[in-house]
Amino acid sequence: MSSVRELPVAGGEPSDLTVDALRGRLERSLAELESAVVAFSGGVDSSVVAALAARALGDRALAVTAVSPALASGELEGASGVAAAIGVEHLVIATDELGREGYRRNARDRCYHCKTELYGELWRLAAERGFAVLLSGANADDRGDWRPGLRAAAEHGVRHPLLEAEAGKAEVRALARRLGVPSAEKPASPCLASRLPYGTRVEPARLARVDRAERAVRALGYPVLRVRHHEDLGKLELPAADLERALAPAARAAIATALREAGYVRTAIDLEPLRSGALNEGFQSPSGEATHG
């Protein structure tokens, strides 16, 4: 395998040659596996891994989505649709991360406990079905962020094809478009527990309130959002492109009503644009690198 990696073209978009070379490397690497289970959320990263695994391994590839109270409404249906479109067998399992005190405590290592539960259940399924390898959708950009889930993956022997191929998010999205993956432009959608500040215990009722609030605001025409849970206060975060219209008096009143009907006594719209991973900004990863969200 060549260690030479062509640079993206101007504007940050990988060239066609880069994308084709990446696809070839990934398919050859996956074809060497006996069989594989893909931890499949339906997001762009895991969808690309599942699509390539299906191409390389056929019916020896299996995409598995985990369902729990932390999964936002609509995510399972979206994952099922992507699996059907890319032609990979898809199963759904239940996980019980809420049964783990480390997860409910919601310290900065919450994702470690979540992924420990997930990978344990996936390996049990893999053993029952005779699958040899467990794959995730982690990409090269994840190295620079606080990702305690990668520690759980290492402990469970999980492979990360995109990370191993040094494929970052821009390349993954370009590859998804080339493969016709429906979630190629899907925004990141972390679990509902990420809306709770560290130290606020993860409880089903809190997750349900966040989910109701986000569904209600999404119905008003805001497809990308976060509702941060601060007990009786629900604070809405929106991308810069949606902030101006959300702050208009009529829109602001409608948003406040939606949040109150979901169960929040007080409501607010953050004047800072939504930035995925902002909760971790400035936090040190195990490698000593500061996170940048």
Phi, psi of 128 (to 5 degrees): -65, -40
The C-alpha torsion from 236 through 237 and 240 to 243, rounded to 10°, is 10
* Ranges of CATH 3.30.70.2210 domains, the chain: 192-275
In the beta sheet, which residues pair with residue 268?
Answer: 235
With 0-12 / 13-18 / 19 or more C-beta atoms within 10 angstroms meaning exposed / middle / buried, residue 283 is middle
Position 20: which residue type? D
What predicted TM-score, i.e. pTM, was given to this entire model? 0.88
pLDDT 10s digits, 217-228: 999 999 999 999
pLDDT 10s digits, 231-279: 999 999 999 999 999 999 999 999 999 999 999 999 999 999 998 655 5
* Ranges of CATH 3.40.50.620 domains, the chain: 16-179
Which CATH number is associated with domain 192-275?
3.30.70.2210
Residue 38 confidence class, pLDDT cut points 50, 70, 90: very high
* Class (C level, CATH) for 16-179: alpha beta
Where residue 19 falls (left for φ over 0; alpha for ψ -120 to 50; beta otherwise) is: alpha
